[in-house]
Amino acid sequence: MKDKFWSQPSQEVLDDLKVTREGLSNTEVEKRTEQYGKNTLTTKGKTTLLQKFIAQFKDLMIIVLMIAALISVFVGEGVDALIIFMVVILNAVFGVFQESKAEEAIDALQELSAPQAHVKRDGKVVTIKSEDIVPGDIVLLEAGDIVPADLRLTESASLKMEEAALTGESVPVIKKIDTIDEENPALGDRKNMAFMNSNVTFGRGEGVVVGTGMKTEVGRIADLINNAEETTTPLQQNLARLSKTLTVLILIIAVIVFAVGMVRGQESLINMFLTAISLAVAAIPEGLPAIVTITLALGTQRMAKRHAIIRKLPAVETLGSTDIIASDKTGTLTQNKMTVEKVFIDNQLQDAGTVKPADLTANHRLFDLMILNNDTKKTDDGLVGDPTETALISFNDGQQYSSDDVIAKLPRLAEVPFDSERKLMSTVNDLGNGKYLLTVKGAPDELLKRTTSFDVAGEVSPMDDAEIKLIQDTNHHLATKAIRVLGFAYQILDEVPTELTSEAVEKDLIFAGLIGMIDPERPEVSQAVKEAQEAGIRPLMITGDHRDTAGAIAKRLGMITDEEMNTAVITGAELDSMSDDELAKRVNQYSVYARVAPEHKVRIVNAWQKKGKIVAMTGDGVNDAPSLKQADIGVAMGITGTEVSKGASDMILADDNFSTIVVAVEEGRKVFANIQKAIQYLLSANLGEVLTLFVMTMMGWQILAPVHILWINLVTDTFPAIALGLEPAEKNSMQQKPRGKSASFLSGGVSSNIIYQGLLEGAITLFVYAMALAFPVHSGSQLVHADALTMAFATLGLIQLFHAFNSKSIHGSIFSATTLKNKFFNWSIVISFALLALTIIVPGLNDIFHVSHLDGFQWLIVLASSVSMVVIVEIVKFVQRKFFHAV
């Protein structure tokens, strides 16, 4: 079959499909079902829970952890091995739970399909399941129907369709059957086509099926979702790089120590092997994956309370690194609800909020015309009908001018239905005094052709050039602001017309006024856009709406300026003329993308990603699903969003509030900062341990045993590091630029901090050990070495606990009113201190840990040395802030 059905006359399409207007025969239906298959969407192969669970163990850091657990078993520390195994398994279970719904997008698309359809077969109208439709079927449509497949329309009687979920068009599209001459019109401009899953809002029509299942426009979206590349988040990339670096360093250090020890011959093979194992255990940050997971999980809980629902844990941190927020317009930046904004009455343009119909004299016909020339129905669920018409009823009812009273007082007797050619609709209503009111609404230009007079406060005057110019100028002024304009006119009749045609009725009209409507921006969005820009994030608008509408809304939101209206707005047709490379080069120029198709959205996201930007894509429609999945983080609307968009997203806005995205970005930045603090704390502590063991080995001293290192890591790495994940956001976090894709957890001075702080911890510990050897409290070589080892053990543990206070801020001072605000952190330090001290103080435990009792003087040396870490690091931080402008 051909695919440019919009460019063919409807009869030619019927001929190509070998079908008449009477429909297919049952025999032919069977043949075509066998040829084309069912009218359903195919899905990607599902990943089982077991496969998802196994996949959690492919991460290099998890592998390193498993090795650490095996080493712990080898050296006889079964408790530590058990703890590590539990952490790994819990992490895997949590990951599977968070991501088990990641592939629901296609299922949701399938559920959207219309369950039944009315078709002609063998000259009879029958109702069938939508999945049984085949190409060539003749489908009948009427208001309230869901289109079951892609159709080339053959009949259209005032047919209107709501296609917002597919095209982004905020207003129902008027359908026609005429051939479209344009070479490759945008989806929303294919007026003679009806697309699968669109809603019929008005009128009736008939069409021939030209695409079913995966051959429909919705099917193309399903295919895009199926083929979208799985992207790794910055967090996953950071942890992967960190894991590889640590693994290499651990192996190198362990091999060097083992080799040096064997060459020197001071220790046996088994002892040197255990020493190398101790070094490996010291270097591995066993608690890191658990700390990252817990910090992210706590972030999701905080975000959920603020209406941002996270579907995938890494999305929390990804938000914090976002450079671009590419947002759908309809339903996301705007309310997806047509609203009366301007009223032109008595030759004056007024804001709708200042106009009070009930307070005006009865001579003003405009408000009655808005109500009477209207097919809106009221139900228990609200207003039902064309959005432009429901907006007119909402306006009057909202201004305490009862539409029910007007309709009851002036009942409709006849009508001339809306027609897309003349762009007008007329009704005849009974005035109750032997007279009849003709109401006419429609396009202002068409209305002016039929008016001979105009009404100002009930005074009717002949239409002149000055009045025509004023009306036309007002219409043009509103149109440039993306406001949809309807004109209203009337005439008093002596009798109901016998001939209800446009030519007989719509003439010699009296102009009553103009109504300007728009799908207004959400009230909170302008401030959210401003906050995003202050945070160095660039908001973009991507929509299926027209160029002028999109540009005007973007300007109102502060996304673009007046000067950028012609340069920062691009259409889908213009995108088609660009190659991917050309788009990537010029993508910085554009902030508004209008009249785009689903594949355009994916191209736009890809273009920004090629420039190294982290892209968040928001949306609510079926058409947004592929780009939501392609983006670094997809954000779906929770209220107005389709299940398709939710299934393809990483985060859902429960309140559909754009400003919630900014809140989520702030939370994401806080999560990254807290993970970075934990990493600095853990790695500097582990470096201190490695340095201590390395130098002890090189010096031929009695070294700390694996049990010492494992206990220190268990006590100091767990609670304080987790507590750092609960730190409040630092000041001005939303005034900083995004850190960028190339940034890592070691950026921003963290790597240098880890090195000098780790060296400092090791140096202080070795100093205490050397001083204990040089100035022994007890006599006897064995006791002296036991005391020195115990003091080194205590110092290495306590120095990390004090250093946790330093790690509350990468560069900021801890001497502030907020230092002790985190109660969980305070208790974690107390508990960790107690657990460390008990191994030395409690009789029996010190034998298990091979340590001796310390007297008061020895404890004083340990405490003073540990506290010195805080003093030295704070001095370095001061120098960094003063001379290197660290923040």
Give the list of residues 6+ apart from residue 703 with CB closer than 8 angstroms, or none: 275, 278, 693, 696, 697
What letter does residue 37 receive in the DSSP assignment? Answer: -
C-alpha pair distances (Å), 152 with each of 32, 186, 189, 204, 859: 18, 15, 13, 14, 87
Report how far apart, in Å, the C-alpha atoms of 286 and of each of 61, 201, 281, 716 are.
9, 60, 8, 11
Active site residue 620: no
Strand 592-594 relative to strand 569-571, pairing: parallel
- Which of 808, 824, 822 has its CA nearest to residue 753? 808
Query: Measured in whole angstroms, how far is the alpha carbon of residue 685 from the centre of its chain?
Result: 37
| 3-state secondary structure labels for all residues of 618-654 | EECCHHHHHHHHHCCEEEEECCCCCHHHHHCCCEEEC
Strands (E), 723-872: none
The distance of Cα 322 from the centroid of its chain, to the nearest Å, equals 10
Q: How far is CA 726 from CA 94, 675, 677, 822, in A?
A: 19, 10, 11, 7
Task: Please state, in angstroms and rounded to a whole number, the distance separating the CA atoms of residues 315 and 581.
Answer: 28
Q: Which residue has the tokens 């960190």?
A: 242
Closest by CA position to 453, among listed 438, 464, 465, 442: 464
Do residues 795 and 768 touch, judged by C-beta distance below 8 A?
yes
Other Cβ atoms less than 10 A from the Cβ of 856: the count is 7
Whether 136 contacts 22, CB under 8 Å: no
Q: Residue 98: which H helix or E strand, with range?
A: helix 78-99
Whether 614 contacts 234, CB under 8 Å:
yes
Helices (H) and strands (E) in the chain, counts: 33, 26
C-alpha closest to that of 788 among 713, 692, 872, 707: 692
DSSP-derived secondary structure letter, 353: G
Give the span between the Cα atoms of 366 and 402, in whole angstroms.
14
What is the DSSP track for 519-539?
A: -PBPTTHHHHHHHHHHTT-EE
To 5 degrees, how large is the angle CA 106–CA 111–CA 114? 125
Contacts (Cβ under 8 Å, ≥6 apart) of 340: 352, 391, 392, 394, 395, 515, 516, 517
The active-site residue out of 145, 189, 323, 328 is 328
Contact 778, 784 (CB under 8 A): yes
Residue 685: HSE in the Cβ half-sphere, 13 Å Cα cutoff: 37
The side-by-side arrangement of strands in the sheet containing 592-594 is 308-310, 651-653, 633-637, 615-619, 324-328, 538-542, 592-594, 569-571
> Could you tell me which of 140, 69, 148 has the C-alpha nearest to residue 112?
148
Q: CB–CB of 585/571 below 8 Å?
A: no
- 348-351 and 193-194 beta bridge pairing: unpaired
**Distance between CA atoms of residues 31 and 36, nearest Å:** 9
* Structure-token match 């509350």, residue found: 808
Task: Please give the positions annotated as active site.
Answer: 328
